[in-house]
Each structure stands twice: as C-alpha cells, then as structure tokens.
C-alpha cells in the first residue's frame, strides 16, 4: 500500500463516501421490501384561477377566482358590492361583516372558495328595492353612526343577531355587536338602533 492509500485507510470513510454508502443501502432496502414512493401532493398555485359559484343576495354568480382571494375582495372588486367595507383585514374591526347562512362572518377572514354553496348576504341584500331594511331604517332613525365607516358591519351584526334571536336583551345586543368596533364611539346610538330594529321587524 502506498503512502496515500495508507493515509486514507487510517482516516476511514470520507463524509461523501459515507453518504453514498447510506444512499445505496436505502435504495437496496426499498427494492427488497417492494416499497413504493408516494406521488407528491397536488399543489395549487396561489395565482391559478379556479371556477366557483357564489349565491349572493339571492343571485347566483359564476366566477374565476384565485384560491387566496378573500370573500371581501370578491364582493367588492368582482361583484361591485362595496357596502362591505375594508377595515383592518385581519378580523379585528368587523367593518367587513356579512351573513353566511344567516350568521355574521368577517369577509376579510373568509376565503371566497370557502363560501361556495352557502347563502351570502351583504348590506345591499337587506334592502327591498329602494326601501331600507328594518335594521337599516333603525340606524337611520337613531343616528347610529358618525363617520359611518363601521356602520355596514354594525348593521350586519345586528341583523345576524335578530335572525337568531328576534327578541334579545340589552346585554345580548351588547354581546352581539361586541365584535364590531366603532372608532367614533357611537355605541349607545347603536344599542338604541338595535332595540328599535326589534320593533320594526315585528311590523
């Protein structure tokens, strides 16, 4: 054995040699056991458009959307329903509140694809032609807004509450709108409007 060979023998396997040996052993083991390699999962690219159908305010819409698009974005930018407001876009302020199957949801935190097959109601869906809905009318009568930016979300929160509980107590009203922030602090007016909406809904 020459000097170079003797040196390699003393050092043992190199790192590269060790990895090559292990790889060969793993392949041989897989071949013996008959194991199969699972195909990689299908990954949908975030910019790949997919077809969905949305039922919004009683009307059906066929849309091409990106899987990452929020319901808020689709309502405003694809359907032109701008009553639903862009606020914090992280589920804290409630300005984007809509009803999904009658329950209040933050549209900014809901993907459009998640809403497929469900009944979506936005602020525009509460009107009867040019006539305001009962909750909208109550907010108008009691001046339940100042800047008005949070008002659509507040109205939708009250609407959702009254659909599930037609006669809520004052405390239940407060809890029902607790997920909606009013930076102008018009809460007392909002609470009075909710109480008035109960009367208007009774006819």
Q: Is residue 31 part of a domain?
A: no
User: What is the domain range of residue 93?
Assistant: 44-125
- Whether 97 and 151 share a structural domain: no
- Whether 200 and 140 share a structural domain: yes
What is the tally of structural domains in the chain?
A: 2
Q: What are residue 168's phi and psi, to 5 degrees? A: -75, 155
Q: Is residue 16 part of a domain?
A: no
Average pLDDT over residues 13-26: 57
Q: How far apart are CA 100 and CA 156, in angstroms?
A: 11
Which distant-in-sequence residues (6+ apart) come within 8 Å of 199 by Cβ?
A: none
Where a domain ends, among 71, 96, 125?
125
Q: Is the pLDDT of residue 30 over 50?
A: no
Q: Is residue 140 part of a domain?
A: yes
Q: How far apart are CA 26 and CA 150, in angstroms?
A: 61
The CATH number of the domain holding residue 155 is 1.10.150.120
- Whether 107 and 156 share a structural domain: no
Percent of the chain with pLDDT over 70: 77
158: left (phi over 0), alpha (psi -120 to 50) or beta: alpha
Residue 197 host element (H or E): helix 187-202
Beta bridge partners of 121: 99
Q: 20-25: which pairs have CB atoms within 8 A and are 24 or more residues apart?
A: none
- Whether 78 and 121 share a structural domain: yes
Q: Is the pTM of this model over 0.85?
A: no
What pLDDT score does 39 carry? Answer: 73
Where a domain ends, among 87, 105, 125?
125
Q: Is the pLDDT of residue 14 over 90?
A: no
- Whether 141 and 199 share a structural domain: yes
Output b/e per residue, 182-195; b: 16+ Cβ within 10 A. beeebbebbbbbbe
Where a domain ends, among 125, 142, 166?
125
What are 39's two structure tokens? 């195909």
Which distant-in-sequence residues (6+ apart) come within 8 Å of 122 by Cβ?
A: 56, 57, 75, 81, 83, 84, 98, 156
What pLDDT score does 167 carry? Answer: 97
Q: Nearest to residue 153, comparing CAs of 178, 117, 118?
A: 178
Q: Is residue 22 part of a domain?
A: no
pLDDT level of residue 21 (50, 70, 90 thresholds): low
Which distant-in-sequence residues (6+ apart) come within 8 Å of 138 by Cβ?
A: 144, 193, 194, 196, 197, 200
The CATH number of the domain holding residue 86 is 3.10.20.30
- What are the tens digits of pLDDT across the range 77-135? 999 999 999 999 999 999 999 999 999 999 999 999 999 999 999 999 999 999 999 99
Average pLDDT over residues 20-35: 51
- C-alpha triplet 175, 100, 61: angle, nearest 5°: 155
């Amino acid at each position: 054995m020459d000097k170079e060979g003797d040196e390699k023998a003393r050092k043992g396997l190199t790192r590269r040699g060790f990895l090559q040996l292990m790889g060969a052993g793993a392949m041989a083991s897989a071949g013996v056991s008959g194991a199969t390699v699972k195909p990689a999962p299908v990954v949908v690219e975030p910019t790949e458009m997919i077809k969905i159908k949305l039922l919004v305010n009683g009307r059906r819409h066929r849309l091409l959307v990106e899987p990452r698009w929020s319901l808020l974005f689709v309502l405003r930018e694809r359907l032109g329903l701008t009553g639903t407001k862009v606020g914090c876009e992280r589920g804290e302020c409630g300005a984007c509140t809509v009803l999904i199957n009658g329950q209040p949801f933050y549209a900014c935190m809901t993907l459009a694809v998640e809403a497929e097959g469900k009944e979506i109601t936005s602020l525009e869906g509460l009107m009867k032609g040019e006539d305001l809905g009962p909750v909208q009318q109550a907010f108008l009568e009691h001046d339940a807004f100042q800047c008005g930016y949070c008002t659509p979300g507040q109205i939708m929160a009250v609407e959702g509450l009254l659909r599930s509980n037609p006669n809520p107590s004052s405390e239940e009203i407060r809890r029902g709108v607790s997920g909606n922030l009013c930076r102008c602090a018009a809460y007392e007016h909002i609470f009075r409007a909710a109480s008035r909406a109960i009367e208007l809904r009774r006819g």
